[in-house]
Structure 1
Amino acid sequence: MVGGGRESQVGYKHRTGALKDNIAFTLVAGAFDINAERGKDFGVNIGVDEDRCYPDYKTMFAEEGKREDGIEVVSIATPNGTHYEICKAALEADLHVICEKPLFFTSGEGVEIKDLAEKKGKIVGVTYGFSGNQMLLQMRAMIEQDKIGEIRIVELQYTHGFSLNDQADKASSSQKWRVDPKIAGPSFVLGDLSTHTYYMSQLIMPNMKIRELLCDRQSFVGSRAPLEDNAFVLMRYENGAVGRLWTSSVNAGCMDGHRIRIVGSKGSLEWWDSKPGELKYEIQGEPGQTLIRAMPYLDDSCNADERLGALHVEGLSEAWANIYLKFATAIDAKNRGDEELLKSLVYPDINAGIEGIRWIENCVRSADNGATWVEFI
């Protein structure tokens, strides 16, 4: 693991996701912190051997490469501006990669890393952690089965109120870099929040492609400019459908406004992150239904990730575990040369990471051009 130390917001999610089932990954080494001593202290406290707690990722890749039991995969849980160089170094060290989002600053960097990964025969996975929620696969299956008809309207939202003022930026080191363009890149909430929701919409509707979009973004906390803490995105899809996305970290009083609603010609599907085990299914003129996780009436693709049974609540930690297990499945398939399995596996791969970068680039281009419609390129 690179990053993800004691002060990290996401490190624990990576570790619990990777280690939850105790069948796919073992954490054996890390460069956990930019402060080497602090990183070593943290690593030892979570059970990593002291001699495998390294001062930086370059040393770790070099030293682990000398060991017969050296690392095979690296999980990158560092600020955005470091992803590209660490990912490239990991692939050059013949390691598979699992990386935080947004993957890089530009789609050009994404294509370069994709080419390198293909050359090395390695997997690059992106931790869109929410996408591991099982009911999203149920939505995908129901759309494929024409349960709601032709898609007409896509309504997406990921908002909260935890960055309502600049106190959050000053109090947390993890928040401070997120509003620094040199480290975060060209966006704040578009990259930090909405790339999750955009990927989830693509997972649910793999055949829906955006033709053009319009983005209007704001910096309500002025010190964050030019990075936005609120944005609205209108979308026109190639099939004639329309969409709307709201992403915000200044939605005062909102604890968790993560919602996806897909409206078709016959009915609608709606999922909320606050109730991840439920899916609303509404057909015009009929009583609404609430589908519950783990029930036998759900699609096999949904229940394939089931652990606890419908009586017991699952949440974000299980979602992360689901995508980490799929990363492991993809890595194993790649190692064995099983390209057919890789083609059928639904998980956030390098292409999803590049698509997330394209999403940010197009939104920023539209917003910086005066909130105008732009072709999605």
Structure 2
Amino acid sequence: MMLNGEKKIARPLRWAMVGGGRLGQVGYKHRTGALRDNTAFQLVAGAFDIDPERGRDFGVNIGVAENRCYDDYKTMFGEEAAREDGIEVISIATPNGTHYEICKAALEAGLHVICEKPLFFTTDEVREIKSLAEEKGKIVGVTYGFSGNQMLLQMRAMIEQGKIGDIRVVDLQYTHGFNALEEEKPSDAQKWRVDPKIAGPSFVLGDLSTHTYYMSQLIMPNMKIKELLCDRQSFIKSRAPLEDNAHVLMHYENGAVGTMWTSSINAGCMDGHRIRIVGSKASLEWWDSKPGELTYEVQGEPIQTLIRAMPYLDESCNADERLGALHVEGLSDSWANIYLKFAVAIDAKSRGDEETLKNLVYPDIDAGLEGVRWIENCVRSAENGAVWVNFE
């Protein structure tokens, strides 16, 4: 049965944002995702901007009461805790270097957390927050926004059903060309993305490839990396030591091999986000530019294009369907799918429903941990001269 907006939880969760204001690049994606099903979240508060006046003006303009548009997240957590109708969950849409402290403060305030990727700078930080979340009985979700594209679940189902045979090759790519040239006046968002103090130890490995890496894990949950080699470059020298291009080679525990090309200097490329999984009998390929299509290529047979929302698809895929066949879905629907799953996870956690949590496929804190782990191993390989390293 396709999604039609009927409630999945008893009532909408009282939700707030930290960041995501007028000048933010991702805030609108969070809001369209969370509020697509108005039975899941209700935006009631926010600390939207580092400039309190601008943040308050923005909050009022998107319908938040002025007295619940706060100067900063600490004030918001304190004042909302004193209200009977206070917030229950926050989304963090701020630069990478602030994620850890905001997430920790939110959990200590008894709030569930949905956070931008990459989650934190180190796996040690993620493990600490995971322990705190478990102690507080709270959910931490990560907004791998592309992962709600339901054809990825079709790939997962077909691989589990043996439709492509044993996996041999994993070919991953997330590239674009929007940073191919040195910007005379880069935006504030671009400035912090190449500042190690704010962005962390990587640029495109964290900003782009963690999306695709998580999607590959969603598609192939039993495939584990044994070792990898990362070669990264700063073609625009001012971005060093952070990379604007990287190639990663991977060896999986089952003997399969993999590649990841991630880049923001792929000149002229508007959308280079693709996943190809090659098996012993057939291959599957998905492109972000055609998110509702999946190419299925069986050796010796005509190439098939599977189309979103059709009855021949797996139930797990069509369960996230919203608009029906012939009507195009896209990134906003993908965000809506993962936000709805965040709501279901938060509701299940609050009710102690571990069975629902165990069977729910969504980007949780373990997915966030894997993303940071991916970055750490890639950086370690690159900094040691692009050598093979065990995936630790």
CA distance in 2, matches of 1:165, 1:290: 36
For 1:112, the equivalent position in structure 2 comes to: 128
Report the CA distance between 1:173 and its aligned residue: 1.1
1:206 matched to 2:221: yes
The SS at the match of 2:46 is coil
For 1:71, the equivalent position in structure 2 comes to: 87
**Aligned mate of 1:321, from 336, 346, 349:** 336
For 1:335, the equivalent position in structure 2 comes to: 350
For 1:129, the equivalent position in structure 2 comes to: 145
The SS at the match of 2:173 is strand
The SS at the match of 1:30 is strand
Q: 4+ residue runs of structure 1 moved beyond 6 angstroms?
A: none
For 2:167, the equivalent position in structure 1 comes to: 151
Q: TM-score, normalized by length of structure 1? A: 0.99
1:35 matched to 2:51: yes
For 1:194, the equivalent position in structure 2 comes to: 209
Q: How large is the Cα RMSD of the aligned pairs? A: 0.6
Listed as ranges, the matches of 1:338-349 within 5 Å are: 338-349=353-364
**Aligned mate of 2:296, from 262, 281, 299:** 281
Q: Match of 1:117, as an amino acid?
A: A
For 1:173, the equivalent position in structure 2 comes to: 188
CA distance in 1, matches of 2:270, 2:325: 25
Report the CA distance between 1:21 and its aligned residue: 1.4
CA distance in 2, matches of 1:180, 1:214: 24
For 2:27, the equivalent position in structure 1 comes to: 11
For 1:223, the equivalent position in structure 2 comes to: 238
The SS at the match of 1:26 is strand
Q: Match of 2:285, as an amino acid?
A: E
For 1:309, the equivalent position in structure 2 comes to: 324
Q: Match of 2:320, as an amino acid?
A: D
Q: Match of 1:187, as an amino acid?
A: S
The SS at the match of 2:47 is coil
Q: TM-score, normalized by length of structure 2? A: 0.95
CA distance in 1, matches of 2:28, 2:181: 26
CA distance in 2, matches of 1:171, 1:203: 34
Report the CA distance between 1:12 and its aligned residue: 0.3
Report the CA distance between 1:174 and its aligned residue: 1.2
Q: Match of 1:321, as an amino acid?
A: A
Deviations 1:246-271 (A, max 9, x none): 00000000001000000000000000
CA distance in 2, matches of 1:321, 1:59: 29
**Aligned mate of 2:260, from 206, 220, 245:** 245
Percentage of matched positions with identical amino acids: 84
For 1:83, the equivalent position in structure 2 comes to: 99
CA distance in 1, matches of 2:195, 2:182: 13
After TM superposition, the structure 1 stretch with the greater mean CA deviation from structure 2, 20-29 or 270-279, is: 20-29
Q: Match of 2:343, as an amino acid?
A: A
1:95 matched to 2:111: yes
CA distance in 1, matches of 2:38, 2:84: 22
Q: Match of 1:296, as an amino acid?
A: P
For 2:77, the equivalent position in structure 1 comes to: 61
CA distance in 2, matches of 1:66, 1:236: 52
CA distance in 1, matches of 2:243, 2:382: 10
Any unmatched runs of 5+ in structure 2? 1-16
The SS at the match of 2:363 is coil
Deviations 1:19-49 (A, max 9, x none): 0111100000000000000000000000000
Q: Match of 1:129, as an amino acid?
A: G
CA distance in 2, matches of 1:374, 1:352: 21
CA distance in 2, matches of 1:220, 1:132: 32
**Aligned mate of 2:286, from 242, 246, 271:** 271
CA distance in 2, matches of 1:376, 1:75: 30
1:183 matched to 2:198: yes
CA distance in 1, matches of 2:338, 2:362: 7
CA distance in 1, matches of 2:38, 2:343: 12
1:354 matched to 2:369: yes
Q: Match of 1:80, as an amino acid?
A: N
Report the CA distance between 1:281 and its aligned residue: 0.2
Any unmatched runs of 5+ in structure 1? none
Report the CA distance between 1:171 and its aligned residue: 2.9
1:369 matched to 2:388: no
**Aligned mate of 1:140, from 153, 156, 165:** 156
CA distance in 2, matches of 1:334, 1:45: 33
CA distance in 1, matches of 2:190, 2:309: 36
For 2:177, the equivalent position in structure 1 comes to: 161
